[in-house]
């Protein structure tokens, strides 16, 4: 579904992502794990066209998207739930969802909104509230709901559990599993490596911009070096 081949990404002279290749197959949950600054967010931003790789190519659903503009990718079924949620704080909950469904027809927006509200009843209760007044967990739900409005085939999530209380973390991971069951392929970036590997099929381990290890999630969970570096020994 998603094939990333030998991409290099620079910020000025900093080579943040070095010759990285990986793939995500339809129906999978794939996770990228790695320490802060390893290059995880940069990879997602490159896939969604927010930044351009200096070299390499990216293929999504069989077509080359390396230089496709960011705003054209939703239509192809790619969603990116960014790090730090980045919902529109000055817009209401409902307006945020409207923006998520920007490319949909207005009748579809209605139907999609209903399904988002069914999944997240809290959001329905707060639909006319300014999004900036939501709690962290609600904001993350809104960020995911907003992405769902685009009917994604592949959803990329960047640290969805960041800054949330443990009970909410469990809830978010539960939602990701459900979305995957319902047919959405998932590319998940997490610092919470244990949780991510628990729900994922496969994982890639990143260190300072390089992939140092890739395996099934099951194997990574018992890998000594992974345990030592990311699972707390």
Partner 1 sequence: MTLLSQIINGIQIGSIYALVALGYSMVYGIVKLINFAHGEIIMVGAYCAWYLIARLNMPAWIAVFFAILLCVILGVTIEIVAYKPLRNSARISLLITAIGISLLLQNLAQLLFKADPRMFANLFPGSKPFLGLQLTNATLVTIAVSVVLMAALSLMVSKTKIGKAMRAVSEDKAIAELMGINVNTTISFTFAIGSALAAIAAVLYCCSYSQIEPTMGSMLGLKAFVAAVLGGIGIIPGAVLGGFLIGVFESLTKGFISSNLADAVVFGILIVVLLIKPTGIFGKNRREKV
Q: Does 96 bind Mg ion (CB under 5 A)?
A: no
Find which of ligand ADP, Mg ion, partner 1, none residue 90 binds, CB within 5 to 8 Å per kind: partner 1
Find which of partner 1, ligand ADP, Mg ion, none residue 135 binds, CB within 5 to 8 Å per kind: none
Residue closer to ligand ADP by CB (options 42, 104) is 42
Helix pair angle (106-119, 136-148), 10° resolution: 140
- ∠ Cα 222 162 152 (to 5°): 90
Torsion of CA 141, 121, 26, 217, to 10 degrees: 60
Residue closer to ligand ADP by CB (options 15, 129) is 15
Minimum distance between the CB of residue 97 and partner 1, rounded to whole angstroms?
10
Applying the rule CB under 6 A, the residues between 9 and 38 that interact with ligand ADP are: 11, 14, 16, 34, 36-38
Q: Does 40 bind ligand ADP (CB under 6 A)?
A: yes
Q: Does 113 bind Mg ion (CB under 5 A)?
A: no
Q: What phi and psi, each to the nearest 5 degrees, are found at residue 226?
A: -65, -45
Residue closer to ligand ADP by CB (options 46, 96) is 46
Minimum distance between the CB of residue 11 and ligand ADP, rounded to whole angstroms?
3
Query: H helices of the chain, where?
Result: 40-47, 93-100, 106-119, 121-125, 136-148, 166-181, 193-199, 217-222, 224-230
Applying the rule CB under 5 A, the residues between 35 and 54 that interact with Mg ion are: 41
Residue closer to partner 1 by CB (options 48, 161) is 48
Range 213-219 contact pairs with CB under 8 angstroms and sequence separation of 24 or more: 214/22, 217/31
Chain residues that interact with partner 1, rule: CB under 8 A: 48-50, 69-75, 79-80, 82, 86, 88-91, 95, 98-100, 102-103, 146, 150
3-state class (DSSP) for residue 65: coil
Find which of partner 1, Mg ion, ligand ADP, none residue 37 binds, CB within 5 to 8 Å per kind: ligand ADP
Distances (CA, A) of 174 to 26, 178, 191: 19, 6, 17
Residue closer to ligand ADP by CB (options 14, 222) is 14
Tokens of 38: 């390893």
Residue closer to partner 1 by CB (options 86, 118) is 86
Beta carbons of 210 and 18 less than 8 angstroms apart: yes
Q: How many residues bind ligand ADP (CB under 6 A)?
A: 11
Tokens of 89: 């704080």
Which residues of this chain interact with ligand ADP, rule CB under 6 A? 11, 14, 16, 34, 36-42
């Amino acid at each position: 579904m998603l094939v990333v081949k030998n991409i290099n990404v620079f910020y000025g002279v900093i080579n943040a992502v070095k010759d990285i290749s990986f793939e995500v197959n339809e129906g999978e949950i794939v996770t990228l794990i790695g320490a802060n600054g390893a290059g995880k967010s940069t990879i997602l931003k490159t896939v969604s066209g927010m930044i351009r790789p200096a070299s390499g190519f990216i293929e999504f659903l069989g077509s080359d998207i390396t230089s496709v503009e960011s705003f054209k990718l939703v239509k192809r079924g790619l969603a990116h739930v960014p790090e730090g949620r980045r919902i529109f704080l000055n817009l209401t909950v409902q307006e945020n969802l409207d923006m998520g469904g920007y490319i949909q027809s207005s009748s579809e927006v209605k139907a999609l909104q209903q399904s988002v509200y069914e999944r997240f009843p809290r959001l329905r209760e707060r639909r006319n509230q300014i999004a900036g007044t939501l709690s962290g967990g609600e904001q993350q739900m809104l960020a995911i709901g907003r992405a769902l409005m685009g009917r994604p085939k592949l959803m990329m999530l960047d640290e969805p559990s960041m800054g949330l209380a443990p009970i909410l973390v469990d809830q978010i991971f539960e939602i990701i599993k459900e979305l995957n069951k319902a047919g959405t392929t998932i590319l998940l970036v997490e610092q919470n490596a244990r949780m991510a590997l628990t729900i994922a099929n496969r994982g890639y381990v990143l260190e300072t911009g390089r992939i140092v290890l890739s395996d099934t999630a099951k194997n990574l969970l018992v890998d000594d070096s992974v345990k030592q570096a990311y699972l707390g020994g």
